[in-house]
A and B are shown apart, each in its own frame.
Chain A
Amino acid sequence: MLTVHSLGIDFISGSNRTHAVKGISFSIAPGETLALVGESGSGKSVTGLALTRLLQEPPAVYSSGEILFEGSDVLKMSPRELRRLRGGKIAYVFQEPSTSLNPVFTVRSQIAEALHLHRPEVRDIDGEVARCLDMVGIVDPSKRMHDYPHQLSGGMQQRVMIAMALACHPKLLVADEPTTALDVTVQAQILDQMRLIKQQIKMAMLLITHNFGIIGGIADRVAVMFRGAIVEHGATAEVLHNPQHPYTKALIGCIPQLGQHRRRLTTIDYSTLG
């Protein structure tokens, strides 16, 4: 469904040219979940945003490669086609739920706006909004949808963001660090919910994270990014249990284990990675 072929992205500031993404390739089949794992600055978020050309151009430049979504190249689309793609076919969930919602509108009107954009045929807006909120596990949705974002907890806000993304029946959900801003118990709930929904509506997902700990139960395959390149790519269980690249090994080594009584957390020694 989605094929990224030797995609390169540069950032230009003044006379400096930074290679943020260096010719990466991956693909996602319908209903599949790919986890893109890497540390801050490895280019994983940039890759996620590039899928619908959300990067500000300039400074960003798509220097090489192609992004094929259902056969057409995203990099060659007109602004109009891109708008239809964004939200409608490829939806996003961002890291900061508290600021990703517009503070001056109710939850209902924000989801209704998404419906209006991509599913204008929906007549019963209230019913559809309530259905979406119910799907992400919000109790009493017909009442909560009249709340403003600040009246909800962080976990609820993220559920609303997911509901908004799902409202338009996207083929692919790009979840960029969806649980990083939440505390651990809520993280688990949200991830469970996402896994359930994904099975229900057969949607593909690109899960972008720095945390190897959360991908185990949810991702089919993992791609590990390091300094703008994919250094390892494979089935989740295989990569987790038998990592090949030294960076992957180091990253997995950094996950703190419950019950271990070590005085220091493991860190990555970059000098050995080249």
Chain B
Amino acid sequence: MTSFLQIWLPNLAVLTVLLVCVFLAKVVARSDRWTVARRRLQRDKVGQLAAFVCLIYLLVGALETVVVPTQTGSRTLLQMLCSGVPQEKGYAAPMASTALSISSPNPLISKHLLGTDALGRDTLVQTLRATRAALWIGGLTSLVYIPLGVLLGILAAYYRGWVDDLVQYFYSTIAAVPEILMLVAILMVLGKGLGTMAIALGITGWVGMARLIRGEALRQMERPYVAAAKAMGQSHWNIITKHLLPNVMHLVVIKFVLGFSGLVLAEAVLSYLGVGAPVGTASWGAIVDASRSELSREPLVWWNLASASFALFLLVLCLNVLGDSLRRAFDPKSTS
């Protein structure tokens, strides 16, 4: 049973994500805003580059998620692809031919493009493997907190009165508890793991989203087109989904992109506190965490921190650029 879960659950997850993407693409392609958006995207070379890099991240994350059973236990596709990279005995600098801080020079089995970590594992491979944790945390948490925050924020702004009071009461209560304390408490109850971490971060993370959306939705509610929609005989649900939601969507895109890097870092903090990802899960957070001691070594071990930081930086940068491009492309008010 456990082996079944370990092997098929991740594979099923990848398949589900794939199917959802295809479905979303079909929905988007049918909307009349898409034709204009596509024309704009075709001219936006920087946006295309960002999309390409994001796709590579997704691919690497998927390779690390798909599990293949072997004689010696199950391994991920990425592990199998990188199985030719040998393990060393300790730290090695990028492209070095000998290991660090061993009195007699100890020749390495092969050269490592970005060096190795304390256990002699190739830094490049570890950094690539950690993509999975980042994408799962960023993606899953966003799946939890964005719908929650947007829904509650819009409902509060639309119905006002006691609904608004209730939502505000909820998020003020959650905001009043120190976030780390709350996260640790939830993770203690739910147990370690990427999934539970996403749930915990989602539960604490929707507050900012709900506040933001409530404010914007309140502003939109004052605009006459909402009154016009009511005078048209539209139902509450129609007004919320067709009129308010599209007009607050730009904030959702921005918040998602900016929140993504915060989530990856939150994972690092939680891993550091010992309630994050299970030991042995490759994550940029864990690498950054380990580099605290590496940075005080002599000679300095900087490549692990640099690799993880750069991988994170590139992902967040590309998400930012991509988010901007999408917003511009789908914004009816932008010219051309």
**A85-B233 contact in complex given A92-B228, A104-B247, C-beta closer than 8 Å:** yes
Chain A nearest Cβ from B238, distance in angstroms: 8
* Most A C-beta atoms less than 10 A away, residue of B224, B232, B332: B232
**Is B243 a contact of A86 with CB atoms below 8 Å?**
no
**Residues of chain A with a CB closer than 8 A to B228's CB:** 92, 94, 100-101, 161
Top 5 closest A-B pairs, CB basis? A86-B233, A87-B233, A92-B231, A87-B232, A148-B332
Is the beta-carbon distance between B225 and A99 smaller than 8 angstroms?
Answer: yes
| Contact present for A94 and B224 (CB under 8 Å) | yes
Distance in Å from the Cβ of B103 to the closest Cβ of chain A? 69
B229 engages A102 (CB within 8 Å): yes
Q: B332: which A residues are within 8 A, CB to CB? A: 103-106, 148, 150
Query: Chain B contacts of A83 at CB under 8 A?
Result: 233-235
A204 interfacial by beta-carbon distance below 8 Å: no
Contact A86 B333 (CB under 8 A): no
Which residues of A are found within 8 Å of B232, using beta-carbon distances?
86-87, 91-92, 113-114, 117, 164
Partner of B32, one of A54, A84, A91, A109: A109
Q: Which of A82, A105, A117 contacts B246 (CB 8 A)?
A: A105
Interface string of B8-51 (1 = CB under 8 A from A): 00000000000000000000000010000000000000000000
Digitize B216-246: 1 where CB-to-A-CB distance is under 8 Å, 0 elsewhere: 0000000111011111111100000011001
Given A84-B233, A102-B229, A103-B332; 7 other pairs, CB 8 A cutoff: A52-B231, A54-B231, A86-B231, A94-B231, A104-B247, A113-B232, A146-B32
**Cα distance A161–B224 when bound, in Å?**
12
Interface size on B, residues (CB 8 A): 19
Q: Is the CB of A100 within 8 A of B247?
A: no
Digitize B288-326: 1 where CB-to-A-CB distance is under 8 Å, 0 elsewhere. Answer: 000000000000000000000000000000000000000
Q: Within 8 Å CB of B225, what residues of A? A: 99-103
Q: List A139-169 residues whose CB lies under 8 Å from chain B.
A: 146, 148, 150, 161, 164
The answer to whether B233 touches A148, judged by C-beta atoms less than 8 angstroms apart, is no
Would you give 15 A-B contacts (Cβ < 8 Å), ordered by A?
A83-B234, A84-B233, A86-B230, A86-B232, A91-B232, A102-B229, A103-B332, A104-B247, A106-B332, A108-B32, A109-B32, A114-B232, A117-B232, A148-B332, A150-B333
Cβ of A96 within 8 Å of any chain B Cβ, yes or no, is yes
Report the minimal beta-carbon distance from B244 to chain A, rounded to whole angstroms: 10
Tell me, yes or no, whether A228 is within 8 Å of chain B by CB: no
Main secondary structure, interface of A, reads mixed
Residues of chain B within 8 A (CB-CB) of A102 are 225, 229, 242-243, 246-247
In the complex, which residues 42-95 of chain A have their Cβ closer than 8 Å to any Cβ of chain B?
52, 54, 82-88, 91-92, 94-95
Instruction: Tell yes or no: A118 within 8 A of B by CB.
Output: yes
For the complex formed, measure the closest distance between the CB of B234 and the CB atoms of chain A, giving whole angstroms: 7
Taken together as a complex, chains A and B put the C-alpha atoms of A96 and B225 apart, in Å, by 9
> What are the residues of chain A within 8 A of B230 when measuring CB–CB?
54, 86
How far is it, in angstroms, between the C-alpha of A85 and the C-alpha of B235 when the chains are bound? 12
Whether B223 lies near A99 (C-beta < 8 A) is yes
Q: How far is the CA of A54 from the CA of B231 in the complex (A)?
A: 7
CB neighbours (8 Å) of A85 from chain B are 233
For A94, the chain B residues whose CB sits under 8 A away are 224, 227-228, 231
Q: With A102-B229, A118-B233 given, is the CB distance from A113 to B223 under 8 Å?
A: no
For residues 246 through 294 of chain B, which have their beta carbon under 8 Å from a beta carbon of chain A? Answer: 246-247
Residues of B within 8 A of A148 (CB): 332-333
**Within the assembled complex, what's the spacing in Å between the Cα atoms of A85 and B32?**
30
Bound complex: CA A185 to CA B223 (Å)? 26
Given known pairs A102-B247, A148-B333, A150-B333, the reply for A54 and B233 (CB within 8 Å) is no
List residues of chain A with CB within 8 A of the CB of B224: 94-96, 99-100
A103 CA / B229 CA spacing, docked (Å)? 13
What B residues does A92 contact at CB under 8 A?
228, 231-232
- Residues of chain A within 8 A (CB-CB) of B32 are 106, 108-109, 146
- Chain B residues within an 8 Å CB radius of A108: 32
A161 to B229, CA, bound (A): 11
From B333, which residue of chain A is reached at the shortest CB distance?
Answer: A150
Q: How far is the CB of B236 from chain A (nearest CB, A)?
A: 9
What is the minimal beta-carbon distance from A85 to any residue of chain B, in angstroms?
7
- Chain B residues whose C-beta falls within 8 Å of the C-beta of A117 in the assembled complex: 232-234
Is there contact, CB below 8 Å, between A104 and B231?
Answer: no
Contacts of B242 in A (CB 8 A): 102, 105, 113
Nearest chain A CB to B317's CB is how many angstroms away?
Answer: 28
Q: How far is the CB of A250 from chain B (nearest CB, A)?
A: 30
Distance in angstroms between the alpha carbons of A99 and B224 in the assembled complex? 6
Distance in angstroms from A121 CB to nearest chain B CB is 16
Please give the distance in Å from A214's CB to the nearest CB on chain B: 21
- B156 CB to nearest A CB, Å: 16
List the A side residues contacting B243 at CB < 8 Å: 102
Q: How far is the CA of A96 from the CA of B229 in the complex (A)?
A: 14
Q: Please, how many angstroms separate the alpha-carbon atoms of A3 and B222 in the complex?
A: 30
- Encode contact with B along A199-214: 1 for CB under 8 Å, 0 otherwise: 0000000000000000
Bound together, the chains give a CA A118 to CA B235 distance in angstroms of: 12
- Least CB distance from A193 to B in Å reads 19
Q: In the bound complex, how far is the Cα of B235 from the Cα of A82, in angstroms? A: 10
Knowing A102-B247, A105-B246, A148-B332 touch, does A54 contact B227 (C-beta < 8 A)?
Answer: yes
How far does the alpha carbon of A161 sit from the alpha carbon of B86 in the complex, in Å?
A: 70
